[in-house]
């Protein structure tokens, strides 16, 4: 589904990703862990096509298509979804209106029939049940005045409606208390399916207690330095990111040393 | 006369004035005022950018263009009724085409009790005396060249009066239509609106075009609100893309009177609107909400001047500007709280959005306070669309153009949120979305 090969990317003239490779198959959940500054958020931004992220080498293919050649909206229509670490507040744009416009834009781009307001409402009602989201949020402007937990739940709700093939969760756990974290994880788990893959980017192991990954990768210095199953996350939790530095002396002296997971 | 004033513009209007047969001729005070204003206009011509009020709006190109006075065929220019319709709104309407009153297009039958609505030409032929105060005015400031021209040459317009205590339920519409003619002509409209004590009125003023033309239109409107009167004024300006439109709207509010203006400025090539409000009575309140959206090579200039003159008066102004392509927006918001207007409350906000590198908006808030215990706030910004919001929308699948239009419409829409009439609000929304590239 997703094949990243030797990806190099820079932001504001600074090399952040330095040879990242990763393959995700349909239905798999991959966790990407790593210390602050390792390039975790950069990966999500590069994959979703944010401006200002320059790919200097490597390739990304998504369902056989060169993902990097597509505009952000084309990537969305192709089935990619990024749940933002910091969802943006958009005053004046109604949440439901926005979501219907987004879904219909994607459907149009894929040559599918657009949904009328009745069909859309029916879809939304189904998804609301999964997300346990209050429909009051739907009538408000996108993310405006939402609490941290509401914003993250709204991201997952959007994902439920847009039904992507690959969802990237960018530090979705950040800023959430344990109850909100559980709710978000339940929403994600409800969307797991053999056709849908997830890339769960997180700093902490905690989220992975609730969204259990098939694979865990450690990102450090702009590339994946360790891969394993979910036990790798527990090992990191136990030893901290300093353990990575010990196993990879090339990182000695860099910021990740001494940082605890 | 200065040589500078002898431009093709001024000369064409001099000839037109000599040939004009205006309604109301022979009314001594009116002839005198027309004559004096004309002389002042001919002597000074158009102001240049050294005049502070015209600093950002250059009239050099206009000064080189001659205009014919009026349209001899205005009475027979075809106008489709559908072009004048406003969904969900059906009521009295006064229609002017190229400056001339059109009885065939107007709706003046079955006027509600307490409402009087007549073309100025008719009033001048009947009982002109009550209009003397408004029409005999002399414009002494060189910056008021168009008001002088209007005073000298206006032959028609709307005279609207609401009797004391009358609450007019249906909105009244004033339609100013520009129609293509053989050449480029000048029309002048003069409106007088008076609301008696405790009267209530909603007035929808629309500027429309039936086809492309490059006419010059001048318009002067006076609104007088007696004690406790309430006016809701909605202004939808969609003049022809080549038109020049210069307007001056003056509001005088007596004690506890309230006026609310919602303005949407979309059309015209060179557009200017001077809005002057005088809060003359205690507790008077003046609210303005406006959006101007110059695109292409349009130039849209709004000059808001509010004068608090009495105790506990309030004004609240929220304006948004959106300039695209080579569009240019100008906004000046000047508030004066005069001595004695203690306890007044004045706020003004003008936020602007530039959608292209060649667009320009000049905004200038001014605040002068000479009274005590005054609450005043004002601010102006010019910025671009929020890149984070744009990316957020695109990442969900909205194409760039659609995402930009959605954000721009949202930026403007907030201004019209408090319009109580849902049909009208929807109409404004449709118009402003229509102004955006799709």
Contact between A76 and B391 using a beta-carbon 8 Å cutoff: no
User: Which of A53, A73, A161 to substitute to test the interface with B, most B CBs within 10 Å?
Assistant: A73
Find chain A residues with C-beta within 8 A of B425's C-beta. none
Residue A261 lies in a domain: no
Contact between B395 and A162 using a beta-carbon 8 Å cutoff: no
Residue pointed to by tokens 């569009």:
B327
Segment B274-284 shows an average pLDDT of: 98
Residue B429 lies in a domain: yes
Give the one of B391, B392, B409 whose C-beta lies nearest to A51's C-beta: B391
| Final residue belonging to a domain, choices B254, B280, B306 | B280
Q: Distance between CA A180 and CA A109 in Å, rounded?
A: 34
Of A242-246, B274-278, B414-418, least confident by mean pLDDT is A242-246
Contact A114, A107 (CB under 8 A): yes
pLDDT at B37 over 50: yes
Residue A24 lies in a domain: yes
Residue pointed to by tokens 């959005």:
B353
Contact A33, A261 (CB under 8 A): yes
Q: Distance between CA B40 and CA B300 in Å, rounded?
A: 26
Contact B390, A73 (CB under 8 A): no
Q: Which domain CATH number covers A108? A: 3.40.50.300
Question: How many percent of chain B have pLDDT more than 90?
Answer: 88
Please give the structure tokens belonging to residue A25.
């198959």
Find chain B residues with C-beta within 8 A of A75's C-beta. 395
Find chain B residues with C-beta within 8 A of A165's C-beta. none
Find chain A residues with C-beta within 8 A of B396's C-beta. 76, 98-99, 102, 158, 162
Find chain A residues with C-beta within 8 A of B407's C-beta. 90, 93
Find chain A residues with C-beta within 8 A of B391's C-beta. 50-51, 72, 88
Residue B372 lies in a domain: no
Residue B164 lies in a domain: yes
User: Which of A82, A85, A87, A102 to substitute to test the interface with B, most B CBs within 10 Å?
Assistant: A102
Q: Are residues B276 and B136 in the same domain?
A: yes
* A199 in B contact zone (CB under 8 Å): no
Q: How far is CA B37 from the centre of its chain?
A: 21
Residue A175 lies in a domain: yes
Give the one of A51, A91, A162 whose C-beta lies nearest to B396's C-beta: A162
Q: Could you report the per-residue pLDDT of B374-403, keeping only the tens digit for each?
A: 999 999 999 999 999 999 999 999 999 999
Q: Are residues B208 and B92 in the same domain?
A: yes
Contact between B398 and A109 using a beta-carbon 8 Å cutoff: no
Contact between B392 and A84 using a beta-carbon 8 Å cutoff: yes
Task: Tell me the shortest Cα–Cα distance from B60 to chain A, in angstroms.
Answer: 40
Phi, psi dihedrals of residue B17, rounded to the nearest 5°: -65, -40
Task: Tell me the shortest Cα–Cα distance from A101 to chain B, in angstroms.
Answer: 7
Residue A118 lies in a domain: yes
Q: Distance between CA B246 and CA B188 in Å, rounded?
A: 10
Residue B360 lies in a domain: no
Q: Distance between CA B320 and CA B410 in Å, rounded?
A: 11
Please give the structure tokens belonging to residue A257.
């040393």
Q: Distance between CA B271 and CA B331 in Å, rounded?
A: 12
Q: Are residues B259 and B405 in the same domain?
A: no
Residue A84 lies in a domain: yes
Q: Distance between CA A199 and CA A183 in Å, rounded?
A: 18
Q: Distance between CA B189 and CA B101 in Å, rounded?
A: 10
Whole-number pLDDT of residue A107: 97
Residue A69 lies in a domain: yes
Residue B344 lies in a domain: no
Contact between A73 and B394 using a beta-carbon 8 Å cutoff: yes
Contact B125, B131 (CB under 8 A): no
Q: Could you report the per-residue pLDDT of B130-166, keeping only the tens digit for each?
A: 999 999 999 988 899 999 999 999 989 999 999 999 9
Q: How many CB pairs under 8 A join A and B?
A: 74
Task: Tell me the shortest Cα–Cα distance from B397 to chain A, in angstroms.
Answer: 4
Q: Distance between CA A225 and CA B200 in Å, rounded?
A: 75
Q: What is the mean pLDDT of each run of 10 residues along chain A (261 residues)?
A: 96 93 97 88 94 95 96 97 96 92 97 95 88 81 92 93 96 88 91 96 90 95 92 87 81 48 33
Exposure string of B357-391, with b = 16+ CB inside 10 Å and e = fewer, is eebbbbbebebebebeebebebebebeebeeebbb
Contact between B410 and A90 using a beta-carbon 8 Å cutoff: yes
Counted domains in chain B? 2
Residue B326 lies in a domain: no
Please give the structure tokens belonging to residue A3.
């094949």
Q: Are residues B131 and B269 in the same domain?
A: yes
Residue A258 lies in a domain: no
Find chain B residues with C-beta within 8 A of A168's C-beta. none
Residue A260 lies in a domain: no
Minimum Cα–Cα distance from A99: chain B residue: B396
* A140 in B contact zone (CB under 8 Å): no
Whole-number pLDDT of residue A257: 36
Give the one of B396, B410, B414 whose C-beta lies nearest to A158's C-beta: B396
From the list B125, B99, B249, B117, the residue with the least C-alpha distance to B178 is B99
Task: Tell me the shortest Cα–Cα distance from B365 to chain A, in angstroms.
Answer: 24
Q: Which domain holds residue B395?
A: 386-438
Q: Count CA within 13 A, CB hemisphere, residue A21.
A: 4
Whole-number pLDDT of residue B23: 93
Find chain A residues with C-beta within 8 A of B398's C-beta. 73, 101-102, 105
Residue B335 lies in a domain: no
Contact B282, B311 (CB under 8 A): yes
Q: Are residues B98 and B224 in the same domain?
A: yes
Whole-number pLDDT of residue A260: 36
From the list B3, B133, B135, the residue with the least C-alpha distance to B63 is B3
| Final residue belonging to a domain, choices B280, B296, B328 | B280
Segment B74-88 shows an average pLDDT of: 90
* A67 in B contact zone (CB under 8 Å): no
Which chain B residues touch A if contact means CB-CB below 8 Å?
A: 386-389, 391-400, 402-403, 406-407, 409-411, 413-414
Q: Which domain holds residue A44?
A: 2-251
| Final residue belonging to a domain, choices B280, B312, B346 | B280
Contact B101, B175 (CB under 8 A): no
Counted domains in chain A? 1
Q: Distance between CA B231 and CA B254 in Å, rounded?
A: 12
Contact between A71 and B409 using a beta-carbon 8 Å cutoff: no
Residue B346 lies in a domain: no
Whole-number pLDDT of residue A239: 86
In terms of Cβ atoms closer than 10 Å to its own Cβ (0-12, 13-18, 19+), residue B50 is exposed
Contact between B407 and A93 using a beta-carbon 8 Å cutoff: yes
Whole-number pLDDT of residue B145: 96
Q: Are residues B120 and B260 in the same domain?
A: yes
User: Which of A47, A87, A90 to substitute to test the interface with B, most B CBs within 10 Å?
Assistant: A90
* A103 in B contact zone (CB under 8 Å): yes
Q: Could you report the per-residue pLDDT of B157-199, keeping only the tens digit for each?
A: 999 999 999 999 999 999 999 999 999 999 999 999 999 999 9
Minimum Cα–Cα distance from A94: chain B residue: B410
Segment B42-56 shows an average pLDDT of: 93
Contact between B387 and A51 using a beta-carbon 8 Å cutoff: yes
Instruction: Tell me what the pLDDT averaged over chain B comes to.
Output: 95
* A215 in B contact zone (CB under 8 Å): no
Find chain A residues with C-beta within 8 A of B399's C-beta. 71, 73, 105
Q: Distance between CA B100 and CA B284 in Å, rounded?
A: 35
């Amino acid at each position: 589904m997703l094949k990243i090969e030797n990806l190099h990317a820079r932001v504001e003239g600074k090399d952040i990703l330095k040879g990242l490779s990763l393959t995700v198959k349909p239905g798999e959940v991959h966790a990407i862990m790593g210390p602050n500054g390792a390039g975790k958020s950069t990966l999500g931004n590069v994959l979703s096509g944010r401006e200002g992220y320059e790919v200097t080498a490597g390739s990304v293919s998504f369902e056989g298509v060169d993902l990097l050649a597509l505009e952000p909206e084309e990537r969305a229509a192709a089935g990619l979804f990024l749940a933002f670490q910091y969802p943006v507040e958009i005053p004046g744009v109604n949440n439901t209106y926005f979501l219907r416009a987004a879904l219909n834009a994607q459907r149009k781009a894929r040559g599918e029939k657009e949904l009328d307001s009745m069909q859309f409402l029916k879809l939304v009602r189904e998804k609301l049940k999964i997300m346990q989201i209050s429909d009051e949020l739907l009538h408000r402007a996108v993310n405006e005045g939402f609490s941290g937990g509401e914003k993250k739940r709204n991201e997952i709700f959007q994902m439920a409606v847009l039904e992507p093939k690959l969802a990237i969760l960018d530090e979705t756990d950040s800023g959430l208390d344990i109850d909100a974290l559980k709710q978000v994880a339940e929403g994600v788990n409800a969307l797991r399916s053999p056709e849908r893959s997830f890339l769960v980017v997180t700093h902490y192991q905690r989220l992975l207690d609730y969204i259990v990954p098939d694979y865990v990768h450690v990102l450090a210095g702009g590339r994946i330095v360790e891969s394993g199953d979910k036990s790798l996350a527990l090992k990191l939790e136990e030893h901290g990111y300093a353990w990575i530095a010990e196993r990879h002396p090339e990182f000695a002296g860099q910021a990740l040393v001494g940082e605890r997971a | 006369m200065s040589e500078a004033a002898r431009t093709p513009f001024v000369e064409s209007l001099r000839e037109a004035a000599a040939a004009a047969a205006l309604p109301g001729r022979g009314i001594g005070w009116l002839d005198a005022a027309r004559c004096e204003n004309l002389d002042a206009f001919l002597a000074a011509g158009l102001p240049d950018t050294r005049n502070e009020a015209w600093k950002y709006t250059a009239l050099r190109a206009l000064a080189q263009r001659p205009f014919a006075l009026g349209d001899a065929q205005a009475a027979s220019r075809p106008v489709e009724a559908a072009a004048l319709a406003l969904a969900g709104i059906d009521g009295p309407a006064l229609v002017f085409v190229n400056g001339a009153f059109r009885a065939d297009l107007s709706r003046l039958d079955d006027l509600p009790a307490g409402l009087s609505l007549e073309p100025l030409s008719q009033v001048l032929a009947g009982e002109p005396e009550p209009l003397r105060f408004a029409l005999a005015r002399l414009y002494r400031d060189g910056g008021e060249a168009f008001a002088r021209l209007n005073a000298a040459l206006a032959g028609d317009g709307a005279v609207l009066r609401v009797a004391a205590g009358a609450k007019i339920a249906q909105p009244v519409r004033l339609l100013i239509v520009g129609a293509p003619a053989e050449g480029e002509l000048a029309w002048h409209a003069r409106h007088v609106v008076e609301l008696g004590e405790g009267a209530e009125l909603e007035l929808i003023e629309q500027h429309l075009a039936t086809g492309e033309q490059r006419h010059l239109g001048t318009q002067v409107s006076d609104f007088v609100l007696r004690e406790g009167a309430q006016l809701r004024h909605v202004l939808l300006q969609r003049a022809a893309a080549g038109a020049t439109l210069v307007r001056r709207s003056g509001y005088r509010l007596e004690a506890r009177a309230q006026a609310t203006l919602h303005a949407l400025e979309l059309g015209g090539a060179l557009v200017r609107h001077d809005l002057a409000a005088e809060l003359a009575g205690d507790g008077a309140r003046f609210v303005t909400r406006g959006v101007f959206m110059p695109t292409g090579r349009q130039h849209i200039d709004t000059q808001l001047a509010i004068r608090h003159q009495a105790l506990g008066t309030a004004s609240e102004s929220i304006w948004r500007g959106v300039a695209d392509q080579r569009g240019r927006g100008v906004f000046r918001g000047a508030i004066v709280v005069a001595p004695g207007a203690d306890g007044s409350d004045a706020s003004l906000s003008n936020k602007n959005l530039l959608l292209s590198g060649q667009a320009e908006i000049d905004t200038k808030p001014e605040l002068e306070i000479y009274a005590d215990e005054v609450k005043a706030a004002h601010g102006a910004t010019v910025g671009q669309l929020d890149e984070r919001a744009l990316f957020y929308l695109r990442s969900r699948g909205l194409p760039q153009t659609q995402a930009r239009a959605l954000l721009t419409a949202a930026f403007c829409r907030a201004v019209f949120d408090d319009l109580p009439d849902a049909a009208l609000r929807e109409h404004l929304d449709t118009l402003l979305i229509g102004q955006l590239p799709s």
